[in-house]
A = this chain, B = another copy of it.
């Protein structure tokens, strides 16, 4: 009977626990704290952190695949949607149904800011290369600078699934930290005069324009960059559901039941890839560091291009809206507003920053397409 109990006790997790798992449980609790108390992107950070917690409880087998006739663990099956690249585009469908491209249609030139901010992808890509990462890892690390969760997860799941944990966590954490990361860079790169620019009211955008926009963008990007079709196509289909005015049922479900369900599944299974064995190594620290560098580069790229537009338009564009080009919708646009209103409380940059902001989503999807085309 003693043997009996000792056998049972040896099956508990207390015995099997490693120091690494203990550290990861602590990290997951810290992430839960950040998500719940600090409200850093809680919709994704809470599921990710909880997935990490579950995956680091020893011996639960919840992430194990099927073997010896026994079925696999719950998260193994949920993870298939990440592995097969199904969740990210479908989440983009919901995001498309929630996104208003009006400010972008009203001010097309803001697309250039969304393009410039993608330097936040390509400069860290080079940096990672010279830090010794292989090319596929470089692509996955660079995409953190896209400041767009589903895009980062989609690219990484195709190029380097082993890095999903640190890359997703870096992407979502820095997206939540945008209000802290961006302002110093924005102030350092702009003059007071630039920050005081008030921009002209945006024109009204008709329903027809809103409907044609997603269709056209899908065709154009789809032809130019076939690898970006799943992301861009899903984003634009969701937007078409929203804007067509005749598919409200579909838009509603894409925005709620569908995206929420997949967010739970994606978050938990992405978080579960951050097991101690995979996560606790110098690479992770380097990725966390490069992620911060990526966000900084993206911000700088957008602001510098904003300055160029300021010069070209002779002062009609406020460079502060450039930082919104990194995506991180709608946080980055709010930061532009806040930094602008600190100089002049009557300056209302929000709507102007929304243009580059949603342009950044398209921009990073295009950049993702390039990386997938070249590296996959």
Contacts and interface: CB of A to CB of B under 8 A. Distances in A.
Interface of A: 8, 11-14, 16-17, 25, 29, 32, 35-36, 39, 42-43, 46-47, 50, 53-54, 57-62, 70-74, 77-78, 83-86, 89-90, 93, 158, 211, 215, 218-219, 222-227, 229-230, 233-234, 237, 240-241, 244-247, 249-250, 252-254, 256-258, 260-261, 263-264, 268, 373-374, 376
Nearest to A258: B261
A222 B70 CA distance: 20
A44 to B, nearest CB: 9
A39 B246 contact: yes
Number of copies: 3
B60 A89 contact: no
A15 to B, nearest CB: 9
Contacts of A42: 244, 246-247
B71 A224 contact: no
Contact of A222 (B32, B60, B245, B263): B60
16 contacts: A11-B373, A12-B225, A13-B222, A29-B215, A32-B215, A36-B211, A53-B218, A54-B233, A60-B227, A60-B229, A61-B226, A74-B234, A77-B84, A250-B263, A252-B256, A258-B264
A50 B96 CA distance: 14
Given A74-B85, A250-B263, 11 more contacts: A13-B224, A25-B219, A36-B244, A43-B250, A46-B240, A46-B241, A54-B229, A72-B84, A77-B86, A252-B260, A256-B257
A34 to B, nearest CB: 11
A50 to B, nearest CB: 5
A61 B89 CA distance: 14
Nearest to A81: B77
Contacts of A93: 264
Contacts of A249: 43, 256, 260
Contact of A240 (B50, B57, B61, B211): B50
A343 to B, nearest CB: 31
A233 B43 CA distance: 18
Contacts of A83: 71
A62 B230 contact: yes
Which one of A57, A93, A254 has the highest number of Cβ atoms from chain B below 10 Å of its Cβ? A57
Contacts of A252: 256, 260
Contacts of A61: 226-227
A77 to B, nearest CB: 5
A222 to B, nearest CB: 4
A264 B253 contact: yes
B57 A222 contact: yes
Which one of A211, A252, A260 has the highest number of Cβ atoms from chain B below 10 Å of its Cβ? A260
A84 to B, nearest CB: 5
B260 A53 contact: no
A283 to B, nearest CB: 23
